[in-house]
């Protein structure tokens, strides 16, 4: 078990699943599908809920209504806007921690393009105001 007040947020972004937790924990606190679900047709899900998209396991539970998008392919982020939605969901709903208050450690595929690493850092600092990366 770790000291939650000081622990670094650790996120392993995978093409199928993203796992997240705090450094020092024995196991991840969250494992969610790396997926975004949106209604296939305009107004298709209005009667169910008013969300314009669903993240992770919530998207999978809405089958067969949503259209699914996977923002990570072969270990590389291909849709940064959707990846931000997954990270937001992890921080705010899965872990319930603020990246503004602690460092964030993100895993990446071996030898990612430099532009990929720069974009990840830009989003963490400019969008999520991460304390460190």
Kindly state whether residues 99 and 124 are assigned to the same domain: yes
Instruction: Domain of residue 58: give its range.
Output: 35-69
Kindly state whether residues 41 and 26 are assigned to the same domain: no
Query: Cα(10)–Cα(102) distance, rounded to whole angstroms?
Result: 11
- State the CATH number of the domain containing residue 121: 3.30.420.40
Kindly state whether residues 20 and 82 are assigned to the same domain: yes
The arithmetic mean of pLDDT across residues 8-16, rounded, is: 95
Kindly state whether residues 133 and 99 are assigned to the same domain: yes
Task: Report the domain count for the chain.
Answer: 2
Q: Which residues pair with 69 in a beta bridge?
A: 36
Kindly state whether residues 27 and 39 are assigned to the same domain: no
pLDDT tens digits along 18-74: 999 999 999 999 999 999 988 776 654 454 555 688 888 777 777 766 688 999 998
Kindly state whether residues 129 and 85 are assigned to the same domain: yes
Kindly state whether residues 40 and 102 are assigned to the same domain: no
pLDDT at 41: 64
- Strands laid side by side in the 30-33 sheet: 30-33, 17-22, 9-13, 104-106
Total-model pTM: 0.85
Domain boundary among 69, 90, 116: 69
Kindly state whether residues 17 and 40 are assigned to the same domain: no
Residue 55 CB neighbour total at 10 angstroms = 23
pLDDT at 45: 47
Residue 101 CB neighbour total at 10 angstroms = 12
Query: Which H or E run includes 32?
Result: strand 30-33
């Amino acid at each position: 078990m770790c000291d939650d007040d000081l622990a670094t947020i650790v996120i392993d972004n995978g093409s199928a699943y993203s796992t997240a937790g705090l450094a020092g924990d024995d196991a991840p606190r969250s494992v969610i599908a790396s997926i975004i679900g949106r209604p296939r047709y305009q107004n298709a899900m209005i009667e169910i809920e008013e969300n314009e998209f669903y993240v992770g396991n919530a998207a999978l539970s809405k089958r067969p209504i949503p259209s699914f998008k996977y923002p990570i392919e072969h270990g590389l982020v291909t849709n940064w806007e959707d990846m931000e939605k997954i990270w937001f969901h992890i921080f705010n709903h899965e872990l319930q921690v603020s990246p503004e208050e602690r460092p964030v450690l993100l895993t990446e595929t071996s030898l990612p393009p430099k532009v990929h690493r720069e974009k990840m850092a830009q989003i963490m600092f400019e969008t999520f105001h991460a304390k460190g990366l």
